[in-house]
Amino acid sequence: MTNGLAERLRLIVVTDPECGGRPLMDVVRAALQGGAPAIQLRIKDGDARPMADQARALLAETRRAGALLFINDRVDVALAVGAEGAHVGQSDLAATDVRRISPPGFLIGVSAESAELALAAQADGADYVGVGPVYATGSKADAGPPVGTERIGAIAAAVRIPVVGIGGITVENALPVTRAGAAGVAVISAVMQANDPEAATRALLRR
């Protein structure tokens, strides 16, 4: 499970339009300055054109910083702008479909809250699975009950691909997630809402 990708997934900063009243691009730039190795652009139910414009602007920043850019759900936007990958949930396109329409090396993350779903995602060609919510969270209205760090460990033991814990993760509670076996953590508000997103990113990486 330990390879170059796992290392680059030790922290995924997921964007949120609600980022403390600041321009999203400023917050992402600060996160990259703080060393974030991966960014996920997440916009729910927005139009594809402005999403592609924003993705291209983000990509200029992530490329400069040597970070990965994932696009949530909209695989067409990810392919159009040349992002490194896409993240899909269980109600988004299946990983097999994403693989079929994407170029070699395109990275596919799949949300999987159980070992069964994680194994299915792996069989479908996922490069990593996002598992959560690890803790109780207010960021995702559609999130289920917390799965806890034990489930993270069980899933990490079941699959060969990296597991990324997501949901309610903060600077304070991130360490048990990777201790349990996750390659990394994905955070939304811990960086997006942080007073100092750069410092928050550094602290999350220091764990």
78 half-sphere exposure, CB direction, 13 A CA radius: 29
Give rounded-to-5 percent helix, strand, coil for the chain.
Answer: 40, 15, 40
Instruction: Provide, rounded to whole angstroms, the least separation between the CB of residue 55 and a copy of itself.
Output: 11
Task: Decide if residue 48 touches a copy of itself (CB under 8 A).
Answer: yes
Amino acid at 44: K
Determine the 3-state secondary structure of 2 from DSSP.
coil
* Peptide bond between residue 197 and the one before it cis (omega within 30 degrees of 0): no
To which H or E segment does residue 161 belong? none
Instruction: Provide, rounded to whole angstroms, the least separation between the CB of residue 19 and Ni ion.
Output: 20
- 188 assigned binding-site residue: yes
Task: Decide if residue 116 touches a copy of itself (CB under 8 A).
Answer: no
The radius of gyration of the chain from alpha carbons, rounded to an integer in Å, stands at 15
What one-character DSSP code corresponds to residue 56? H
Active-site hit among 8, 10, 74, 140: 140
Task: Decide if residue 98 touches a copy of itself (CB under 8 A).
Answer: yes
Of the candidate residues 2, 45, 138, 160, the single one contacting a copy of itself (CB under 8 A): 45
Of the candidate residues 2, 4, 23, 91, the single one contacting a copy of itself (CB under 8 A): 91
Instruction: Provide, rounded to whole angstroms, the least separation between the CB of residue 40 and a copy of itself.
Output: 16
Instruction: Report the C-alpha gap between 35 and 126 in whole angstroms.
Output: 25
Task: Decide if residue 49 touches a copy of itself (CB under 8 A).
Answer: yes
Residue 157 binds what, of a copy of itself, Ni ion, none (CB under 5 to 8 Å, by partner type)? none
Instruction: Report the C-alpha gap between 87 and 12 in whole angstroms.
Output: 11
Residues annotated within the binding site are: 40-44, 72-73, 92, 111, 137-140, 168, 188-189
What positions carry a catalytic annotation? 42, 111, 140
Contact residues toward a copy of itself (CB under 8 A) are: 45, 47-50, 52, 73-77, 79-81, 88, 90-94, 97-98, 100-101
